[in-house]
Amino acid sequence: MRGGGHLTIDLIRTINRVKFTGSREHTSNVLSVATMPSYKLYYFNLRARAEPSRLILAAAGVDYEDVRIKRENWPAEKASGKFPLGQMPCLEVDGVMLAQSNAIARYLANEHGLAGKNNMEKARADMIVDTMGDLSPHLVKIIKEQDETKKDELKKEFTSKTLPACNTSLEKLLIQNNGGDGYFVGSELTWADLVFVNHVQRPLPGPSSVDAFPKLKALYEKVIALPKISEWIEKRPKTDIYETVLTHSDDVNWALPMFCGIVTGPVIQLSSVRSYSDKTLLQFSSRLYAVTKPLAAY
């Protein structure tokens, strides 16, 4: 909890929250002065599995501590026993450590009126989020594949088959909601739309993946243009060079080949890889870029 000096700000925010976001728990005109919980979100310096929660918090206009743990510090943090499933992201709230990215995101969505208005809407949001979640095993498989040829095959299959199939389902789901020119669920923004933004912004292959899906594309552009969302996208740490690198595993053996595969294409291949810190990755990236830039002229 923050100290007394911030109580006024908390109070004002609470009033705004109750008055303007219409939290389903406060339907009367009497303002209940619920004190704002303090949130601490723990993850790596990545978007990946924590970004939906960050987008939800941004949309809700809620402050939180955005803790980004360095890769080299993770083994010690993990060993501390602080993270109940030995994984991140985690959300610390009210003395409780919540794990599992969707459990966290859904909790924040529920708390801040971004989950859907009734159980059926919430179920629709869940269904849409889970449809995107079905991609995770494929991505993890790509990331973990050491053989470069196989990796390229898997990537091609992902971008030409698996992802379009998912987007086809998503477009169908969107159209189910009153023709598809609004949000995914009901008539307002929900976390399903925010998870979708993160889905589109995955570097493999990036926003071009929705070019073939007009309704999805329109939704994506609508959501990233929302003031609070565009503000967050503008100011958040830029992590694109790391984004291809992982999920929640502390196993970085596969990190560099994958990274190099994105940055250099077939030009440079690195074989045996051990652990690399973020700093090393940056050094590699600048050296590789220096090498490949002249090649690009050909």
Q: Name the segment binding other proteins (CB under 8 A); options: 56-64, 103-111, 219-227, 280-288.
A: 103-111
94 sits near other proteins (criterion: CB under 8 A): yes
Bridge partners of 43, per DSSP, are 68
Interaction of residue 130 with other proteins, rule CB under 8 A = yes
104 or 204: whose CB is closer to other proteins?
A: 104
Residues numbered 168-207 forming contacts with other proteins, rule: CB under 8 A: 169, 172-173, 176
Does the protein bind other proteins through residue 127 (CB under 8 A)? Answer: yes
Using CB under 8 A as the binding rule, whether residue 124 contacts other proteins is answered as: yes
Residue 276 CA to residue 192 CA, distance in Å, equals 34
CB of 168 to other proteins, least distance (A): 9
State the minimum distance, in angstroms, from the CB of residue 259 to other proteins. 24
Q: Which residues contact 154 (CB under 8 A, 6 or more apart)?
A: 138, 141, 142, 145
Query: Is the separation of the CB atoms in 26 and 20 below 8 Å?
Result: no
- What does the DSSP assignment read for 55-110? HHHHHHT---EEEEE-GGGHHHHHHTT-STTS-S-EEEETTEEEESHHHHHHHHHH
- Comparing CB distances to other proteins, the nearer of 11 and 99 is 99
What separation in angstroms does the CA of 154 have from each of 29, 41, 141, 255, 290? 56, 32, 8, 16, 28
| Binder among 51, 92, 111, 278 for other proteins (CB under 8 A) | 111
In whole angstroms, what is the distance from residue 120 CA to residue 45 CA? 35
Q: Which of residues 154-173 bind other proteins (CB under 8 A)?
A: 169, 172-173
The footprint of other proteins on residues 32-91 (CB under 8 A) is: 84-86
Strands 90-93 and 39-44: antiparallel
Q: Which residue stretch of 40-48, 57-65, 71-79, 93-101 sits at the interface with other proteins (rule: CB under 8 A)?
A: 93-101
Interacting residue with other proteins among 99, 262, 263, 273 (CB under 8 A): 99
- Among 157, 265, 156, 159, smallest CA distance to 207 is for 159
102, 253, 277, 285: which one binds other proteins (CB under 8 A): 102
Judged by beta carbon, residue 25 or residue 221, the one nearer other proteins is 25
Residue closer to other proteins by CB (options 173, 258) is: 173
Q: Which residues bind other proteins (CB under 8 A)?
A: 84-86, 93-94, 96, 98-100, 102-104, 106-107, 110-111, 119-120, 122-124, 126-127, 130-131, 137, 169, 172-173, 176
